[in-house]
Amino acid sequence: MTAFFQSLGMNYEWAWFVSTICGILLIALPLMLGVAMIIYADRKIWAAMALRRGPNVVGPFGLLQSFADGLKVFLQETIVPSASNKILFLIAPIITFTVALMAWAVIPFNSGAVLADINVGLLYVLAISSLGVYGVVIAGWASNSKYPFFSAMRASAQMISYEVSIGFILICVVLWAGSFNLNEIVADQKGHVFGILNGYAFNPLLFPMWVMFLISGMAETARAPFDLTEAESELVAGYQTEYSSMAFALYWLGEYANVLLMCTLNAVLFFGGYLPPLDLPFLYIVPGFVWLLAKILFFFFVFSWVKATVPRYRYDQLMRLGWKVFLPVSLGFVVLVSGYLMFTRYG
Amino acid sequence: MIHTIAFYLFATLVVASGAITILARNPVHSVLWLILAFFNAAGLMVLVGAEFIAMLLVIVYVGAVAVLFLFVVMMLDIDFAELRAGFIKNFPLGMLVAVVLLCEIVLGVGAYRAGALHLGTPDGSAATAVGVSNIKAIGTLLYGRYLFLFEAAGVILLVAMIGAIVLTHRQRSDTRGQNISRQIARRPDEATVNVKPEVGKGVSL
């Protein structure tokens, strides 16, 4: 894209600047639209599994429900509790929202179609996702209210616990791909199993890692059944209790953007990203981003499915799963995978 | 040009947020400013081409260590008057640390001015070759030349970790723990009992 703007007569620096801004908008605007639609899809799937109709009034099939909700919260009054720490109270949702958008910079949407094709792409994703906890923790503290504070404590413990095992799972993928660059990781998955299946998840050594990544992803984004940070029966609405209007909407959007990011990471790291599922020539007629989108939607369906069917975990069960099950197993698999590669690839 | 702007932006923010860290009255604000300082330091690392170190800085310090700081500081019930009372008592010690740090900075700047600053080995053999990614270069050094030192560091960390667990671990007899495997193995017929009491009699459990 830089070359295109250079051909319009700009010098390199300006062309790079303008093309980066355009790239950011090209990712962020469809993402926000996607988040609005995915909230609708989430409610529809959830309703269908509970034998309800779900949103069906605003627009055809209720398609415009999210936009109506968006307009509603936009027109609401922003209430800042008088006992709160006002600046931090307002900064917290901005952090959540910004961080949720930042990680998308390194996601490859097609072969080479990535905003920042950096060498440490996967580490960047890990670094940014570890920042997400601040939005919740700061909100819990700045609200100066007991339920948000409990929620913040829970969130910080939960997210740190699952980040550890996610780190080890990602190391397995990185070892196999031999690169931290997401584009190269996807390219390495081409014909990975029997020369025909695209994706690390079809590899018997990495399949358990994918299952753990899926579950850890739900815990990391605080989705049901791990949504203890906003368990309504215990904590009212968790860290969002004191929020209203656009501040609340920013949490809402950021949360779903994070869920979409986790779905995308599942697709990119374990199911061949923009590659078709089978390495057959005629499947490449369909553009890469369509395959990626299909995989993201599939994983989002899985997330909604789990949300609709699995009851919420108890807090000690959540911690046990993270530290006593996922951490040792993922650590063991790092040893197993690196040992296997040592004997087969590096001799 | 954009390099220079970015450098001054990050550097100013690091210094400013570092200063506010120690000047802020509220400890939670202090930690948040410290996090901003870490984050901008990571930006500086990216500028000099050490992207791996930058990411590690964000993952380890911002993502884990600072969260724990924040976690602890938020739960502290801080009495500001008591904090200020300790100020006079600890003032000489604080000045001593400040003087030592100042000497180090002066020494560092002096060494840099004298041109005696060689990164790595004097013949430059440890310097990163052009075109080799950060991760590869660090990996080759850590797992090749400095393997034993690296493993020694690992063993020390392991000992520290086990030591911390041993020191803080205590067996508590006054609480009832969750035995997950027993909970999973429980079946409805052993947990519930179906009784048909006569009217007006009730049941004894």
- Per-residue 3-state assignment (H helix, E strand, C coil) for chain A: CHHHHHHCCCCHHHHHHHHHHHHHHHHHHHHHHHHHHHHHHHHHHHHHHCCCCCCCCCCHHHCCHHHHHHHHHHHCCCCCCCCCCHHHHHHHHHHHHHHHHHHHHHCCCECCECCCCCCCHHHHHHHHHHHHHHHHHHHHHHCCCHHHHHHHHHHHHHHHHHHHHHHHHHHHHHHHHCCCCHHHHHHHCCCCECCCECCHHHCCCCHHHHHHHHHHHHHHCCCCCCCHHHCHHHHCCHHHCCCCHHHHHHHHHHHHHHHHHHHHHHHHHHCCCCCCCECCHHHHHCCHHHHHHHHHHHHHHHHHHHHHHCCCCCHHHHHHHHHHHHHHHHHHHHHHHHHHHHHHHHC
Q: Are B55 and A123 within 8 A, CB to CB?
A: yes
A320 CB within 8 Å of a chain B CB: yes
Residue A116 in tokens: 């920042």
Closest CA to A213 of A153, A255, A267, A249: A267
How far does the CA of residue A292 sit from the closest CA of chain B (Å)? 26
Q: At what angle do helices A65-75 and A12-49 cross, to 10 degrees?
A: 110
- Say how many CA atoms lie within 13 Å of A139 toward its Cβ: 32
pLDDT at B122: 47
* Mean pLDDT along residues A137-154: 85
* CB-CB contact of A226 with A322 (8 Å): no
C-alpha to C-alpha distance for A2 and A7, rounded to whole angstroms: 9
Closest CA to B73 of A146, A64, A27, A141: A141
Q: Are A156 and B71 within 8 A, CB to CB?
A: yes
pLDDT one-digit tens code per residue, A251-270: 888 889 889 999 999 998 88
Least confident of A77-91, A146-160, B76-90: B76-90
ipTM: 0.79
Q: Are A119 and B51 within 8 A, CB to CB?
A: yes
Least confident of A175-179, A189-193, A321-325: A189-193
pLDDT(A2) > 70: no
pLDDT at B118: 53
pLDDT one-digit tens code per residue, A110-130: 877 778 778 888 888 888 888
Q: Are A127 and B67 within 8 A, CB to CB?
A: no
C-alpha to C-alpha distance for A3 and A17, rounded to whole angstroms: 12
Helix then strand then coil, % of chain B, to nearest 5: 70, 0, 30
Side chain identity at residue A7, one-letter code: S
Higher pLDDT, A281 or B79: A281
Side chain identity at residue A136, one-letter code: V
Length reported for chain B: 205
Nearest CB among B59, B135, B178 relative to A130 is that of B59
pLDDT(A136) > 90: no
What end-to-end distance do the CA atoms of chain B give, in Å?
81
Backbone torsions φ then ψ of A59, nearest 5 degrees: 75, 175
* Per-chain mean pLDDT for chain A: 85
Higher pLDDT, A101 or B194: A101
Residues of B in contact with A17 (CB under 8 A): 2
Residue A176: pLDDT band with limits 50, 70, 90 = confident
How far does the CA of residue B122 sit from the closest CA of chain A (Å)? 29
The top-scoring range by mean pLDDT among A73-77, A187-191, A306-310, B192-196 is: A306-310
pLDDT at B124: 46
What's the predicted TM-score (pTM) here?
0.82
Least confident of A16-30, A62-76, A155-169, B116-130: B116-130
* CB-CB contact of A107 with A264 (8 Å): yes
How far does the CA of residue B129 sit from the closest CA of chain A (Å)? 16
C-alpha to C-alpha distance for A325 and A342, rounded to whole angstroms: 26
pLDDT at A335: 92
The secondary structure element, H or E, covering residue B20 is helix B2-23
A153 CB within 8 Å of a chain B CB: yes
List chain B pLDDT tens, one digit each, 205 residues.
777 888 888 899 999 999 998 888 788 888 889 999 998 998 888 887 778 888 888 888 888 888 888 888 887 766 666 666 777 778 888 899 999 999 998 988 887 777 655 554 444 444 555 667 778 888 888 888 888 999 999 999 999 999 999 998 888 778 777 788 888 888 888 888 888 888 887 777 6
How far does the CA of residue A294 sit from the closest CA of chain B (Å)? 31
Share of chain A above pLDDT 90, in %: 10
